[in-house]
Copies of this chain bind each other. A is one copy, B any other.
Amino acid sequence: MESLKIRPQVQENIDNFLNEQKLILDNVSPAAGQMINFAKDFLSGGKRLRAAFCYWGYKGSGGAGETEILYAASALEFLQGCALVHDDVMDASDTRRGKPSIHKRFEHLHQAGKWAGGEELFGIGGAVLLGDLMLSWADQMLLTSGIDEVALRRGKNLYDLMRTELMAGQYLDLYSQAKGGGSIEEALNVIRFKSAKYTIERPLHLGCNLAVADAELIQSFTDYGLPLGEAFQLRDDILGVFGDPEETGKPAGDDLREGKRTVLIELAFKGATKPQMMILDELFAKADLSPTGVNQLREVIQATGALEKVESLINQLFEQSQSALAVSSITAEAKTALSELAVAATSRRL
């Protein structure tokens, strides 16, 4: 896919960067060098959506050259790496893309070595630190991309905002889930900051800022990116409930067990009849929910009409995003790529 042609170069940038960092870590201790192996494995593959949106935000704003923007865009994969590694610690999720999460991998090291102290705490410690390293490496990569100082200053300011919004959005997600019983508006606000801005709008803005200072283009990227980002997360929420474990890399019904208060779930609660509500109250957020229970919940969510409503919301947001793209002054080449990416991000068949 043309829109994702950047993937091999992003991978190469990440690997080369990690090879350089390994020298520093090995100098501290070969044990620390081991962290690089985990990082390499974790950061190999993936859709590279954020890097792609950053790249096309740059190209779509008329930015020239390839090497520097590809290096800068690769930085977002480190930010995303930190977000995922720390997210798995916060959720106590044992798997990520069908493989053990990073804290589990450190736990396994501890078990294999028959070391002293709690293996769980060691796992958390290793994952917190590797996430911190990835967060550090992200801005390091951005700032050593070779993009000129003035553009880089604009880009770094945007990156600072994006990073703070991401962490705040993650906290809002934790908070809403703990507080429970929120509104659809609250669930949409979580989506906006945790995902829509962070995954799509801000990477586009970053790319744009690295090319030019142009308020009209920034607005166009918002008009295209925000609704698309919301649609992207709504699709993700559907997959979290109805998705195939083969495709999602997570056990079926994990979001139901965790009690994630997504728009889909809020709509189900809102639209439920009394008998449906009894099932929701009994089974939703039940930590030891059985496969039968997962199926019961799926049926209820469908029967309340929540699934259909979310699918229709996704379509509506997708169309809104495409219309905004069409009327914008984004370059033609980027329009084609962004249109392609919109399909990829909302159908999730990458």
Q: A residues near B, CB below 8 A? A: 21, 24-25, 28-29, 31-32, 35, 82, 86, 89-92, 110, 113, 115-117, 121-122, 124-126, 128-129, 131-133, 135-137, 139-140, 143, 149, 156, 160-161, 163-165, 167-172, 174-175, 177-180, 189, 193, 259, 285
Distance between Cα atoms of A117 and B128 in the complex (Å): 21
The CA of A196 and the CA of B189, in the complex, are separated in Å by 44
Total copies of the chain = 2
Asked if residues B115 and A180 are in contact (CB atoms below 8 Å), the reply is yes
Interface of A is mostly: helix
Q: Does the CB pair A136–B163 fall under 8 Å?
A: yes
A168 to B36 alpha-carbon distance, docked (Å): 10
Judge whether B177 and A117 touch: CB under 8 Å.
yes
Contact, CB under 8 Å: B128 / A90: yes
Assess the B132–A86 pair: CB atoms within 8 A. yes
28 contacts between A and B (CB under 8 A): A21-B164, A24-B164, A28-B165, A28-B168, A28-B169, A29-B172, A29-B193, A31-B171, A31-B172, A31-B175, A89-B124, A89-B125, A90-B125, A116-B259, A116-B285, A117-B177, A117-B178, A117-B285, A125-B171, A125-B174, A128-B128, A131-B132, A132-B135, A135-B136, A136-B167, A139-B139, A140-B160, A149-B149
A32 to B116, Cβ gap below 8 A? no
The 4 nearest A-B residue pairs measured at CB? A90-B125, A115-B178, A28-B168, A32-B168
**Could you tell me if A92 and B121 are in contact, using CB atoms closer than 8 angstroms?**
yes
In Å, the complex CA distance between A133 and B285 comes to 29
17 extra A-B contacts, CB within 8 A, seeds A28-B165, A28-B172: A24-B164, A25-B164, A25-B168, A28-B193, A29-B193, A31-B171, A32-B175, A89-B125, A91-B121, A110-B178, A113-B179, A116-B179, A117-B259, A129-B167, A133-B168, A136-B167, A139-B139
From A133, which residue of chain B is reached at the shortest CB distance? B167
Check A132–B32 contact: CB distance below 8 A: no
A285 and chain B: residue at smallest CB distance:
B116
Q: Closest CB-CB distance, A42 to chain B, in whole Å?
A: 16
Complex: A90 Cα to B123 Cα, angstroms: 9
Residues of chain B lying within 8 A (CB to CB) of residue A139:
136, 139
Contact B140 A82 (CB under 8 A): no
